[in-house]
Structure 1
């Protein structure tokens, strides 16, 4: 037993402490300061123990399975693209979304879900846009008009437009250009329909069909004022329209019978046989033929191959020609992201710098200069981030695709105005591992703090006591002067 006791920490006997130790003012001050300092260090160490440590590594993408990325998205070698973009001056009727890959192959989206919502002039949503079930039909058996026959459709321009509009309850205008193939096919049909409507109106000044040549100087000013970008465009104007009123447009079959039947609805409205409406379904096919949205919100998602590619949004139509000089594709990016949608929990636990990179383009506006064809190009570099959380949280790894973007405007009259989202997927993964400090590390550091402070305090105390003793000795000997 005595041998075991010899191995233990030896201590001073209680009755000898008073003989071997003494109190001092410097010792008391030092003890208080050291005690406060030790409390601060222990509290800081406890806070450090409770905080999350983050370690970031960059690895090649083919090591994704080693960092917890076992999702179906990686296994199938596809990438989901999510977008929500507003176009205040591009009609949903003409807006087209096309996905291409780095080889230039169109329709590169393996699966897609895209929806369009019509916007009014103030940017408010009017309602969903339904794609046309059938292509625009044309009457092909009518001969081109001779110049002497062109008086049945009233020719107007910017100088007399307002006077003519006030003269009739309803004025239906065909905006055209001579170089437009579809306008040439519509010309004899429109003139014939104008003659029939003139007979039906019988000088009651209720309705009249008119035409505006957008290639002439006076006509082009009117077309620019009414934001006519597609030819032919058939638009309805009413005598009692407000200044910023929305105007119906004709989207039905381009035949005399269809146009006359459609125009008859406006005669009935003017004669109070039916209520006024800007949503006319003249052929009873369940499809509204008079859309009133001047803008379009395009939202959806695409599944594409994990390879460089792009998404192009521009105007397309099988029955119209476009004036690219006035086409305006100004837009606001409400949201663009890559990969599956993140849960609320994922957003909360994700590091702030990664969360910010997930939607780098969000809520940004891009404007085109007036009357200058402008293409907006967004170059996007995508990086996959895998965030592993502490195991105690029991939350699976969060996979988020951040990106950096550089935007550029291309202004060339030979360039078709469009919005391009060109993306490139970098073959790396940023692996962020978050974890708590282990308990044994906490204990080790705590012991180091206590032992280190005690040891340093002893050294400092001994030095102070030695210095004080030396000064006292010199004072007794009279050596301090």
Structure 2
């Protein structure tokens, strides 16, 4: 066996008897300074060890062509009616979808962007096959011309008032005019205003009665509105509660629709309802008219990951629009791409990539308002150009497991464009073929321990050297003072 004396011979840390050592004030001061230095450097190293370290790479987007990109939005249009507001998407591959309603909701709003009721259900775009009578023949005016001066009088007088808001220059209005006048004449014969008086058909020329048409939120021509006595509530901030007719526009269909409207109204004289000889079911296609001239559109759409457009404008296949009267001013509450991250996931992204995140929804809170009283802003289309970059963050859950977090950031540039076509709010988006990849870099605990040992040993050694220099310097100065130098 190895003896204790031989084992002591390999001692790296030989001890000096304590009575052979001498303490000094300079050594004590350096020892205190060294201790504080060790504590400070240890704290810095510990903070560095606990701080997240990441690496950022620019790589080709790994998404496949079959993947879709989700666009979430919440946009308020103070002057665009929900009746004709349409959300359309298209892309460079030729894909086009018009009037998306399945994932989009609409709410009528007042000029202060406050919702005036429940969700507005515009329904699908009506497909009208008969826009008027096919046979052209002489006809006489049967409907009553309404103006701002006599409109309220007729609305209070008749239980059912059906009004055709039209424009003389409108193609669809001119197609409707003959059948509308014939229908009005037939209804006057069946329900004489003096003997019965349950229904009256009227018309309003919106080029002459612009204020009256704006009060009833008319933005497309022709608009057929159904007013029922007692249901047109004006005390509720001026809102009008009535319906719009979207059925066929030939005389036969209009007469059947009018009869259906009259049927539930109490009558003093029995009238024979129209017998539909063909036996087919007539769809009157009625739905509530917009309460106000504004609309909030919210929801989401899915588009392919290729350059494309999201367009919001007034759209109808059976109505005409006056471009100078369409105002697409809007306030954006949300416009973002990709999946919605939870607060916890968003916090994790910010922790790992504080300089990358923060621009995923640049348009939030932005207002784009044009004053139509100024001719310069008439027929104004507002366009937004968005360039999208995908950021993928790899968060380390364990030593071998990562969790990928996806976020889409974009830049936004907006402009006002004058056009002869119907104004629209256009969002042009262009996904980048590159993506930012951020990964968390783990730190070795052994590296941390090594640095801590280096700090302690290094500070101890440097302090020892300084103490030796200081001690020898003091001894030399004392010898000089005693004259023992030479």
User: What TM bracket, shorter-length normalisation?
Assistant: 0.7 to 0.9
CA RMSD of aligned residues (A): 3.5
Map of 2:19 onto structure 1: 18
CA contact under 8 A between 1:145 and 1:187: conserved in structure 2?
no
CA contact under 8 A between 1:83 and 1:301: conserved in structure 2?
yes
CA contact under 8 A between 2:225 and 2:242: conserved in structure 1?
yes
Map of 2:288 onto structure 1: 290
1:374 aligns with 2:374: no
Equivalent of residue 208 in structure 1, options 200, 203, 206: 200
The answer to which of 202-211 and 248-257 deviates more is 202-211
* Structure 1 unpaired stretches of 5+: 65-73, 274-282
Equivalent of residue 244 in structure 1, options 239, 244, 247: 239
Residue correspondence of structure 1 range 27-106 to structure 2 within 5 A = 27-61=27-61, 64=62, 74-88=63-77, 89-102=79-92, 105=94
1:322 aligns with 2:321: yes
The answer to which of 435-444 and 190-199 deviates more is 190-199
Q: Secondary structure at 1:300's aligned position in 2?
A: strand
1:473 deviates by: 5.3
Q: TM-score, normalised by structure 1?
A: 0.79
Equivalent of residue 140 in structure 1, options 109, 129, 133: 133
In the aligned structure 1, how far is the partner of 2:143 from the partner of 2:131? 19
Q: TM-score, normalised by structure 2?
A: 0.79
Map of 2:278 onto structure 1: none
Structure number with higher helix proportion: 1
In the aligned structure 2, how far is the partner of 1:447 from the partner of 1:113? 67
Equivalent of residue 179 in structure 2, options 176, 189, 195: 189
1:298 deviates by: 4.8
In the aligned structure 1, how far is the partner of 2:252 from the partner of 2:14? 115
1:268 deviates by: 6.1
Residue correspondence of structure 1 range 157-306 to structure 2 within 5 A = 157-199=147-189, 200=191, 202-203=193-194, 206-216=198-208, 219-237=209-227, 238=229, 241-242=233-234, 243-264=238-259, 267=262, 271=266, 288-292=286-290, 294=292, 295=295, 297-304=297-304, 306=305
Quick one: structure 1 residues 116 and 30, their matched pair in 2 at CA, closer, same or farther if it must change by over 3 Å? same
1:392 deviates by: 1.0
In the aligned structure 2, how far is the partner of 1:444 from the partner of 1:428? 39
1:93 deviates by: 4.7
CA contact under 8 A between 2:395 and 2:404: conserved in structure 1?
yes
CA contact under 8 A between 1:81 and 1:336: conserved in structure 2?
no
Pairs aligned (count): 444
Map of 2:429 onto structure 1: 423
Q: Secondary structure at 2:318's aligned position in 1?
A: coil
Q: Secondary structure at 1:392's aligned position in 2?
A: coil
1:288 deviates by: 4.9
Quick one: structure 1 residues 223 and 473, their matched pair in 2 at CA, closer, same or farther if it must change by over 3 Å? farther
CA contact under 8 A between 1:142 and 1:189: conserved in structure 2?
no
Map of 2:409 onto structure 1: 402
Quick one: structure 1 residues 214 and 127, their matched pair in 2 at CA, closer, same or farther if it must change by over 3 Å? closer
In the aligned structure 2, how far is the partner of 1:175 from the partner of 1:118? 23
Q: Secondary structure at 1:358's aligned position in 2?
A: coil
* Structure 2 unpaired stretches of 5+: 269-280
In the aligned structure 2, how far is the partner of 1:398 from the partner of 1:266? 57
